[in-house]
Amino acid sequence: MNNIELKAKQIEEEFSIFDDWMDRYNILIDKARNLEPLDPKYKTPQYLINGCQSQLWLFCENKDGRLFCMADGDAIITKGMAAIVLELVNGEPLQDILNYNFEVFDKIGLHSHLSPTRSNGLRSLIKQVKLYAEAYLLKNISNDKQR
């Protein structure tokens, strides 16, 4: 079990404490409020996640083969979903991120409690994180070949 899977288990346990979805939404809201603010220079169309009902910006960078992301949004639930994605991927190896299927959102029941547009936004966010990981991995491989 890799570190992302361990983090996912912790998130599952955190959400399993509550049966009521209002309590679970409060976990999302708390995660959103604790999300580190995104530098305004990244709140541009270039970093905007397409397919989201609300505005959600994502910036990721590669540090020594590990992905570090920051996000911000104008809707608290969307921002909470982003906080969970970042909790899972930040500091993790690029290949581990590409291999992970983000099933934690199904396991905590979030997908079934989201509107179709929010579900699309979550899928778009995950897709964009994986695109960052893939691009950085390919760049690392290319740089290694050039050495």
State phi, psi for 85 to the nearest 5 degrees. -60, -45
Domain limits, the chain? 3-146
List 11, 32, 38, 52, catalytic entry: 52
- What is the spatial distance between Cα 93 and Cα 106, in angstroms, rounded to a whole number? 23
Beta strands in the chain (DSSP E): 56-63, 66-73, 92-93
State phi, psi for 3 to the nearest 5 degrees. -65, -35
User: What average pLDDT does range 101-105 have in this prediction?
Assistant: 95
| CATH architecture for the domain at 3-146 | Alpha-Beta Complex (3.90)
- What is the spatial distance between Cα 93 and Cα 97, in angstroms, rounded to a whole number? 7
- pLDDT band at 106; cut points 50, 70, 90: very high
Residue 21 is predicted with a pLDDT of: 87
- What is the spatial distance between Cα 125 and Cα 102, in angstroms, rounded to a whole number? 11
Residue 122 is predicted with a pLDDT of: 92
Residue 118 is predicted with a pLDDT of: 85
**Residue 69 annotated among the catalytic residues of the structure:** no
b/e code 1-37 from CB counts within 10 Å (16+ = b): eeebeebbeebeeebeeeeeeeebbebbeebbeebee
144 pLDDT exceeds 80?
no
b/e code 111-122 from CB counts within 10 Å (16+ = b): eeebeeebbbbb
* pTM exceeding the 0.85 threshold for the entire prediction: yes
Both structure tokens of 75: 């809707």
Residue 68 is predicted with a pLDDT of: 98
Residue 104 is predicted with a pLDDT of: 96
- For 65: left if phi > 0, alpha if psi spans -120 to 50, otherwise beta; the answer is left
111 pLDDT exceeds 80?
no
pLDDT in tens, 34-91: 999 899 999 999 999 987 778 999 999 999 999 999 999 999 999 999 999 999 999 9
